[in-house]
Chain A
């Protein structure tokens, strides 16, 4: 039996804007349904209606239509921030919480706990405290705690948005397991990169209206719709999108292996003849010398790290969570003082300067925009750095940035009321008005949809063209490879690689070591024996067509 979304319309206040308009679809039992759409399309409102937050907790709105489910249907939600959802000190406490609320007996709780821990392969976490878990492990425990309540429908609301590649893989495996187990799962996420291989059914929402209802393959074949919804899709599907316009016989593929098989049939395979590397002469703007950091509790976050950041380049800092990336960049702007070693900006040590003084040259944009926003309007927030550093700016300059990044209408908006992606973009835009020529971005794509990521990419290229240096921490590996000139890779507090993108693309051993996948275009360029490694889909498609024509 399916669960029916029956002509649902909703307004948060009577007389207000309709955030959902006559939405109809079915959630298929035992399947994974993905609800996609840009920020503000009504996805979160639907989750609140499914989970009875509307009207039980939010009773002031106007709800029309219904979510038709049998009596006593239990709907549970896994949110994007497991730290706000786990109640209890230990993993067992957190998993038991929901079952205790349901009044289950001790024996039944123990039985169900064993079952979910086995199902999700989490027995090894059983006696750990929640505070010591990684992001992925917390999310996995959160899913276990909800599953233990045996919900009829499990909703996952952007469950991997703040996870590293390992964490994403862990949640991806859990989703596969749930599907195999016949659980009904609803995934609310505009990023389908990690879940494309598992999703069965896709619902597209735009401005509160349903604009798509179909299978996964139908969705991924509708390129115009993907663009319109700003959905982030796997690079494999992007390759298919680009190539299928010229090669109609190409079949949709979701993995590098599937793509390789098809492309080998079409263009054959050659032995790799990627040329040698040319050394480029570079000016160092920031240098790190024998940097070590040991925290008060004895944790060695960085060990003897040496690195040179070249002027005017985009430098990616890569590694799994806990590898020391954030600790490293916090030394570059003075937030952390080294236990040993030195950090120099244009040859002069910065370690005795204050963070505000350093920010005139090196500025850091944090991962969570809410930590940075506190002005009353978007316009004032934009000029915050300039005012703090007494850098002159004109209203015309502000106007131009607002216009370029489509924020004119938000000029007088309270910044914290913006969508997550726009909040993040605003914090990045505000540092454009500072005097700093080294800009550090920590996970800049967090919360951004496809439209904003495209704008961010253009901004990075513009900054680089203007001679500014950008240091970027990001888990979005395809974007990193499209934009970076150089990379520094950290693993367990030690530097294991420093060099150009070209040098890095030749070192798949490093990526295996840190358990991160190279982008599909890089893997396929090498596997198909191209004469050069491609970093973006357009370039890759051109190479395929060139070989096919030859």
Chain B
């Protein structure tokens, strides 16, 4: 199962105009960049969960979360460790551990592990997760042909829109190729399972050569096919399918607007500086 790919099903998000979904991602990217309130972000998270469940993609989001767990754990720990060097911003709340360590020139370092460090780590990890998952919500529900159509409607030049669509078409192919190369080499005796990190990294370098050649040959085949289909970016082309906003888009925009308003209100009432 490839979490990066479009999920072919029928749902509210699938029926939306791609432009609405692009706008959703852009707005959510801004909101998650600006909002740093744990309560507000939890509300937004609940909205996302409802959206994923409605559109029958929660299992793909779980796979995404699994892939992101190392990154999210790193962000959580990073902000937790940075927080150790700061006193609690809010007086209330438990302090688990604190001490003063002597430092050079008679100076000292105050270490304080309190609930606020955990809060800060969780808020930053949640923001990153929401930002990335809003992008994947669009990718999982918009196929690359719709992406191209949507971008064209936004007056993006066809060459660029086609290139972006092609990337989404090619990425799953490259992932499949890499997997096949790894399987083929291990089948010939290259140990890739029971080996240390250094060997693993060396193996990836080894795999990169056949992968590069496969990608190059695919690239060459694709450029030949573009020629066979008379693709010429300097010539005006037509479109067989059109896209049009419907009542679904209006309802989706309203639901998002309400969610953002509530998120902002929650931010105003429950904000702890992070």
Contacts and interface: CB of A to CB of B under 8 A. Distances in A.
A364 B188 CA distance: 7
Contact of B186 (A56, A77, A104, A355): A355
B189 A366 contact: no
B55 interface: no
A99 interface: yes
A5 B180 CA distance: 41
B184 A366 contact: yes
A191 to B, nearest CB: 20
A109 B184 contact: no
A484 interface: no
A356 B240 contact: no
B100 interface: no
Interface stretch (A85-93, A202-210, A265-273): A85-93
Contacts of B194: 354, 356
Interface in B167-191: 169, 173, 177, 180-181, 183-191
Given A57-B227, A297-B1, A388-B188, A373 B210 contact: yes
A88 B189 contact: no
Contacts of B250: none
A360 B232 CA distance: 52
B190 A101 contact: no
B193 A356 contact: yes
Contacts of A131: 5, 8
A68 interface: no
Nearest to A99: B240
A53 B187 contact: no
A87 B169 CA distance: 8
Contact of B143 (A85, A129, A146): A129
A149 B229 contact: yes
B190 A356 contact: yes
Given A53-B224, A84-B225, A129-B143, A363 B188 contact: yes
Interface in A122-142: 129, 131-132
A333 B185 CA distance: 12
Contact of A98 (B189, B221, B230): B230
A226 interface: no
A84 B210 contact: no
B189 A89 contact: no
A354 B229 contact: no
Given A53-B224, A100-B240, A385 B189 contact: yes
A296 interface: yes
B145 interface: yes
Interface string A487-527: 00000000000000000000000000000000000000000
B231 interface: yes
Contacts of A53: 224, 227
Contacts of A385: 188-189
Residue among B5, B166, B209 with most chain A CB within 10 A: B209
B144 A83 contact: no
Contacts of B177: 371
Interface in B236-260: 236-241
Interface in A529-549: none
A92 B232 CA distance: 20
B211 to A, nearest CB: 9
A109 B183 contact: no
Contacts of B191: 354, 356-357, 388
Contacts of B183: 330, 335, 355, 366, 371
A372 B185 contact: yes
A368 interface: yes
Interface in A13-42: none
B227 A56 contact: yes
A51 interface: yes
A157 B227 CA distance: 15
Interface string B152-169: 000000000000001001
A58 to B, nearest CB: 10
B101 interface: no
- Chain B interface size, as a band, is 35 or more
B235 interface: yes
A105 B186 CA distance: 52
B187 A100 contact: no
Interface string B198-212: 000000001101100
B22 to A, nearest CB: 17
A430 B236 CA distance: 52
A363 B184 CA distance: 10
B210 A371 contact: yes
A101 B228 contact: no
A357 to B, nearest CB: 8
Given A149-B230, A374-B209, A416-B213, A356 B1 contact: no
A372 B222 CA distance: 22
A3 interface: no
B218 interface: yes
Nearest to B187: A364
Contacts of A431: 188
A89 B6 contact: yes
B8 A146 contact: no
B214 interface: yes
Contact of A102 (B190, B206, B230): B230
Contacts of B237: 100-103
Interface string A340-364: 0000000000000011110110011
Contacts of B218: 84
A434 interface: yes
Contact of A84 (B5, B187, B192, B221): B221
Nearest to A80: B221
A262 interface: no
Interface in B111-155: 143-146
A93 B145 contact: yes
A389 B188 CA distance: 9
A57 B222 CA distance: 13
A101 B230 contact: yes
The 4 closest A-B pairs by CB, nearest first: A388-B189, A89-B143, A84-B221, A96-B240
14 contacts: A53-B224, A76-B228, A81-B221, A85-B221, A85-B228, A88-B145, A89-B143, A92-B241, A93-B241, A96-B240, A101-B231, A355-B187, A355-B192, A356-B193
Interface of B: 1, 5-6, 8, 143-146, 166, 169, 173, 177, 180-181, 183-194, 206-207, 209-210, 213-214, 217-218, 221-232, 235-241
Interface of A: 51-53, 56-57, 76-77, 79, 81, 83-85, 87-90, 92-93, 96-106, 109-110, 113, 129, 131-132, 145-146, 149, 295-297, 330, 333, 335, 354-357, 359-360, 363-366, 368, 370-374, 384-385, 388-389, 416, 430-431, 434
